[in-house]
Homo-oligomer: A and B are copies of this chain.
Amino acid sequence: MVDSFAPVRARPLINTLAIIGMGLIGSSLARAARELNLAGRIAAADRDAAVTERVRVLGLADLATTSAAEACADADLVILCTPVGISARVAEEIAPALKRGAILSDVGSVKGMIVDQVGPLVPAGVHFIPAHPVAGTEHSGPDAGFASLFLSRWCILTPPDGSDAQAVATLRAFWEGMGAIVEIMSAPHHDLVLAITSHLPHLIAYNIVGTANDLEAVTQSEVIKFSAGGFRDFTRIAASDPTMWRDIFLHNKDAVLEMLGRFSEDLSLLTRAIRFGDGETLHRHFTRTRAIRRGIVSLGQDKPETEKLKK
């Protein structure tokens, strides 16, 4: 469990870092890389000129441009921070600009499709190592980022078979430099793990907020007022960026459908127990789910709620 940054490096780990897409994740990367001296020079690209203007005003990078290819010129590490759905298009655009020996990585929540779509576009001599920092908030855009976003959070690397060991070590050092805990796994296994720990929870949260929105007998104002009973935690998750999440579901379809199937089967059992007044089944189910919670709190991945509430 890491709870503060390592000392700031005397010399940068990376000479030139290029970040493509300056939303929550991209702008947090830029802030952390600068604060912790992980990169000597930061080149930031975003196709939205209003975003690059904010990047300039906030002083997040040495170069802020709407041209992804321009940002990649001479970059030693290029990180795609765009929604998963446009990764391949961006990779195609920057491929000619990537220098030999550079590392190309990303931060997408889906890895199998990225490997399939982006992999073939990567020029020879460029090391393609997909990554996924498991961190985020409900906010989007360059103003929402902050340097400690990745502190004590896991970052999963999914290097394809035969990846260059030195390139993997450099990317690992980069993420560890930001306080993240690095784990390596295959892309398909990543997609299964994330389908249950992140994708299904988001779909369920979006769904229940939609259900609440459509009720005739309960007003939206009542739903909002009385949300402290549990609902508000779902609304926080369901406030995440719609484009990012649309792309995740479309690109991790098989794993999400598998988890959805299991979820629905289990929900049928609980529904039946309620309908037939089977208190024993309900109590048994509600008891065994507590063990996972204890694991999460003891691993420092969440704080007990009382610590947040007590005044």
The chain B residue with its CB closest to the CB of A308 is: B308
- A58 close to B (CB within 8 Å): no
CB interface residues, A 292-310, toward B, < 8 Å: 292-296, 299, 301-302, 304-306, 308-310
Contact indicator A231/B138 (Cβ below 8 Å): no
Shortest beta-carbon distance, A26 to chain B, in Å? 16
With A138-B305, A264-B264: A292-B220 Cβ-Cβ less than 8 Å: yes
CB interface residues, A 276-298, toward B, < 8 Å: 277, 279, 282-283, 285-296
Main secondary structure of the interface of A (DSSP, over half): helix
In the complex, A85 Cα to B203 Cα: how many Å? 33
Contact indicator A197/B236 (Cβ below 8 Å): no
This chain: copies in complex = 2
- A172 close to B (CB within 8 Å): no
26 CB contacts below 8 A, A to B, read A136-B229, A137-B306, A138-B304, A149-B309, A153-B228, A156-B226, A183-B225, A192-B217, A197-B222, A197-B223, A197-B230, A200-B211, A201-B234, A210-B266, A213-B292, A214-B262, A224-B299, A230-B237, A235-B293, A239-B294, A242-B287, A246-B279, A250-B277, A250-B279, A257-B271, A257-B274
